[in-house]
Structure 1
Amino acid sequence: MDRILKSISYIFHPLIMPLLGVIFYYSKSPRFIAPEVIQAKLVSLIILTILLPILLYFLLKTLGKVRSMHLSSTKERIYPLILNCIVIIIAIQRIVSPAQAFELYFFFLGILVSNMSCLMLALLKFKASIHMIGVAGLFMFFIALSIHFSININGTLALMAIILGAVATSRLHLRAHSFKELIVGIFIGIIPQIILTPYWL
């Protein structure tokens, strides 16, 4: 059980949540989008939102700014969150601009707001769960897309609810967060998406 719960934290890492949102969007969008365009955007996102943050983490570790990938203290979170905000801004400007896919634009804008909120809390010495922020924000985006495209994805939403609970259980079991930090993380992930949804729904 211990290995399973540890694996959940790695499998549903916050870094992959934006990519999962984009993949889901392209799989459900009724608009025709050339496969070459989709492939180019997915490759760009993998490089920008996954590989680049990993390289930046190793740079920060070399410089002594972080001790481990778990970012156990609020002080360790500051530089990674600042860099991630910059990465998301680049993604918004270069990959998911409103002229290309306004749904994804607002999804990433919500991610940026969530990241900035988490950064502000870290500066105030509060460690909100980044895992819960990522999964909760993705969950809300799926709900909004189901309404926007008028599609039935109840199975996907049920699975997302199970994943949300599994990630929360994993973080509690690993003693990475308190119950309060998990709840705050859920709200930070969901609320920006809810606020921005009316602009594209």
Structure 2
Amino acid sequence: MLYFLVIPGTYFSNQKFTILSYVFILTYLIPLFMMIFLKRLKLIKSYRTESVNERKLPVILMIFLFYILANSLESILLLKDLSLLFYASSFGLAMLFIFLFRDFKMSIHLLALGISTGFFIALSDKYGQSFLLVIMALIIISGFLASARLHLKAHSVKEVFSGFFTGILAVMAIYLFL
């Protein structure tokens, strides 16, 4: 939603609603039902997917969902920016997936905020506009979330920082090379 507030565009309300509904279904509803299904099949023990092995299947499914979403948005001229976001999300999750095989549980929360931050950095470059307030707000939110994840002992400092910076690097790689 933030994208539609800060990027100039000629979207009608019904177009925004349709796009946001499509994104919501592919990034929230389908993953939610996937997790319920995986838990019923006893492929995961809890929705928190605390172990490295429990994370592998949900992450690989999300990689494909984000890739499908990016491909479908890329074909719409006015939505190429959003395709960058979802290609980067897919790429960031793929990098996270690789680290799972090294028993390294990178923070998915901070990966997402790193991707969001990197996305607005890339948009600043693309449009020649400063989205500094948005970027600063995202960095501050990332700091609060990182502190919470550390306080809950859900991750180590290394896992939190690697998640955030992997997210930023994923966007930069997709933006610069695609």
Query: TM-score by structure 2 length?
Result: 0.91
1:79 lines up with 2:64 in the alignment: no
Alignment partner, residue 53 of structure 1: 31
Alignment partner, residue 77 of structure 2: 99
- Count of aligned pairs between the two proteins: 178
1:30 to 5, 8, 11: 8
> How far apart, CA to CA, are the structure 1 residues paired with 2:159 and 2:132?
28
Give per-residue Cα distances to partners, 1:46-81, cap 9 Å, x unaligned.
111101101100111111111222211110001100
Give per-residue Cα distances to partners, 1:78-128, cap 9 Å, x unaligned.
110011112112212324436342221122111111011111111222111
Change in CA separation of 1:98 and 1:121 when aligned onto 2, cut-off 3 Å: farther
Query: TM-score by structure 1 length?
Result: 0.81
What is the CA-CA distance between 1:199 and the residue it aligns to?
Answer: 5.4
What is the CA-CA distance between 1:142 and the residue it aligns to?
Answer: 1.4
Structure 2: stretches of 5+ with no match in the other structure = none
Would the aligned equivalents of 2:73 and 2:82 in 1 still touch at CA under 8 Å? no
Q: CA RMSD in A?
A: 1.8
1:156 lines up with 2:134 in the alignment: yes
Amino acid of the residue matched to residue 17 of structure 2?
Q
Would the aligned equivalents of 2:73 and 2:79 in 1 still touch at CA under 8 Å? no
Amino acid of the residue matched to residue 197 of structure 1?
Y
User: Relative contact order, CA 8 A, sep 6+: which one is greater?
Assistant: 1
Would the aligned equivalents of 1:98 and 1:105 in 2 still touch at CA under 8 Å? no
Alignment partner, residue 143 of structure 2: 165
Alignment partner, residue 196 of structure 1: 174
1:129 lines up with 2:107 in the alignment: yes
Would the aligned equivalents of 1:30 and 1:149 in 2 still touch at CA under 8 Å? no
1:111 lines up with 2:58 in the alignment: no
Alignment partner, residue 43 of structure 1: 21
Alignment partner, residue 157 of structure 2: 179
Would the aligned equivalents of 1:44 and 1:95 in 2 still touch at CA under 8 Å? no
